[in-house]
Amino acid sequence: MKSLNQSNQRNLLWSLIVLGLLISNLAQAVYEPSQLSDPSRRWSVDVGISGGYDDNIYSHPANDPDKKSSASTTLNPRLFVNLPLDQTFLGLRYSYDWIYYWDRIGGEKFDQNHNADLIFSHRFNPRLQLDLTDNFRRGISPALTEIAPGVNRILQEQGNYFFNNLTATLTYNLTRVWTLSIYNSWEYWSYDNEGTVANPGPATQDRNIYSPGVGLNYLLSPATTLGVNLRLGIVDYDDPGPNNEKNSTSETAFLFLSHLFNPQISAQISAGGSVTEMGDNHSSSSPYASGSFTYRYAPNGTVSIGGSYFLYTTDQNGYRTSDTLASYLQFSHAITPKLTGRLGVTFIHSELNDPESGMPVGTPNPSEDSWRFNLGASYGFTRWLFGEANYEFTHGSGMGGGSYDRNRFWAGVRLTY
């Protein structure tokens, strides 16, 4: 009932926003911070249909006799909507994945993933701006989920789940060079499967995470920005365990630097530290760092690399936090006007910390690793018909099932309008 009430509150919030936009004065559309691939369009819809092969549909270890492969069929419709007004912008990005496994036995033969991103932005005046984003994910028998584009972590899901992240940022230009930002993020996880104290299940990981913060940036030059950020983190589990041990409060402080070397090269870096206080008065500290580098080496080619190191609340039963290193490489190149190739590599390493009270005394802190490599290409036959081909390799090792490898291939067509 708690989850239903929260969902109803979010639906009411966005209904009021949409209603306000519809009855407002439809001034000339001049404010559009996020454009579609065709700037002249206000909406776009497409659907992808593909067939493929998965050599390890349950992510089992290589020597597991229950390891299973299967051919698959995927349906992937997407919808993109922009509603720009004089000072207000509303955007919607929605996609649905339906993946049918021909040789899966037991339970449903298909996975489903719903991904919806809502964008709201309003400029009260040239100095004051409000931005709201809502990222919703629903996974039904999901195989592997990446919550944020560009990659901050890969999650091998434990079952059907809801995820929602609502972020609000209010930005005020104090002067020509000083900018103040006040923000808050609400992250919500809910799993369908129930668990008990004696036999923990995914439902014991249901939680809310609140992250209010403040940032102050200084424009050192037209190409360089310096900043300082202070952020509070509050983790609230539905089932926090004995002595409230899984709940936590953290304080993070970090410095920020971004620089535009030229129109083709940009970089940014953040560095600082965090202190986390668990509900049973146990504390942990960790450095915090992140950085990224983007090089547009040609009008038709871009390469980006990045990484981050942070302390995160883990889903792994028996442990409460993990020191996590996340890194990625993304490459895109238009080989011809119609043929585009893409390459992506992601690596996540986590050191599990803060064992729960039920763990044996002296238990060593284990680690988990996740690799993902994907290679893809698309070819534009016409303005509305594209061919697509992709290969993805995933490797996971550590707790929760040991080490496994997984290869997936799929190819098909995408119709767009």
Q: Could you report the per-residue pLDDT of 307-357, keeping only the tens digit for each?
A: 999 887 776 777 878 888 999 999 999 999 999 999 999 998 888 877 777
Is the residue at 329 inside a domain? Answer: yes
Q: Determine the pLDDT at residue 154.
A: 43
Q: Determine the pLDDT at residue 400.
A: 52
Q: Determine the pLDDT at residue 15.
A: 41
Count the Cβ atoms, other than its own, within 10 Å of residue 285.
10
Closest to 343 in 3D by CA, of 317, 373, 315, 388: 373
The residue to which tokens 């709940």 are assigned:
247
Domain housing 402:
2-411
> Taking the mean position of all CA atoms in its chain, how far away is CA 224?
27
Q: Determine the pLDDT at residue 52.
A: 97
Is the residue at 266 inside a domain? Answer: yes
Q: Determine the pLDDT at residue 156.
A: 45
Radius of gyration of the chain (CA): 23
Is the residue at 417 inside a domain? Answer: no
Could you report the per-residue pLDDT of 235-277, keeping only the tens digit for each?
999 888 888 888 999 999 999 999 999 999 999 999 999 999 9
Domain count, the chain: 1
Is the residue at 208 inside a domain? Answer: yes
Is the residue at 416 inside a domain? Answer: no
Q: Determine the pLDDT at residue 205.
A: 77
Query: From first to last of its 417 residues, what are the pLDDT tens digits of the chain?
Result: 443 344 444 444 444 333 333 333 333 446 888 778 777 889 999 999 999 999 988 878 878 888 889 999 999 999 999 999 999 999 999 999 999 999 988 777 888 999 999 999 999 999 999 999 999 988 886 554 544 444 434 454 446 888 899 999 999 999 999 999 999 999 998 888 654 333 445 447 789 999 999 999 999 999 999 999 999 999 999 888 888 888 999 999 999 999 999 999 999 999 999 999 988 888 888 899 999 999 999 989 999 999 999 887 776 777 878 888 999 999 999 999 999 999 999 998 888 877 777 777 666 778 888 889 999 999 999 999 999 999 999 998 876 556 889 999 999 999 999
CATH number (domain holding residue 236): 2.40.160
**Residue 39 CB partners (closer than 8 Å, separation 6+):** none
Reduced 3-state DSSP string for the chain: CHHHHHHHHHHHHHHHHHHHHHHCCCCCCCCCCCCCCCCCCCEEEEEEEEEEEECCCCCCCCCCCCCCCEEEEEEEEEEEEEEECCCEEEEEEEEEEEEEECCCCCCCCEEEEEEEEEEEEEEEECCEEEEEEEEEEEEECCCCEECCCCCCCEECCCCCEEEEEEEEEEEEECCCCEEEEEEEEEEEEEECCCCCCCCCCHHHHCEEEECCEEEEEEEEECCEEEEEEEEEEEEEECCCCHHHCCCEEEEEEEEEEEEEEECCEEEEEEEEEEEEEECCCCEEEEEEEEEEEEEEEECCEEEEEEEEEEEEECCCCCEEEEEEEEEEEEEEEECCCCEEEEEEEEEEEEEEEEECCCCCCCCCCCEEEEEEEEEEEEEECCCCEEEEEEEEEEEEECCCCCCEEEEEEEEEEEEEC
Is the residue at 184 inside a domain? Answer: yes
Closest to 41 in 3D by CA, of 71, 9, 78, 83: 83
Is the residue at 318 inside a domain? Answer: yes
Is the residue at 27 inside a domain? Answer: yes
Total-model pTM: 0.81
**Residue 53 CB partners (closer than 8 Å, separation 6+):** 69, 70, 71, 72, 408, 409, 410
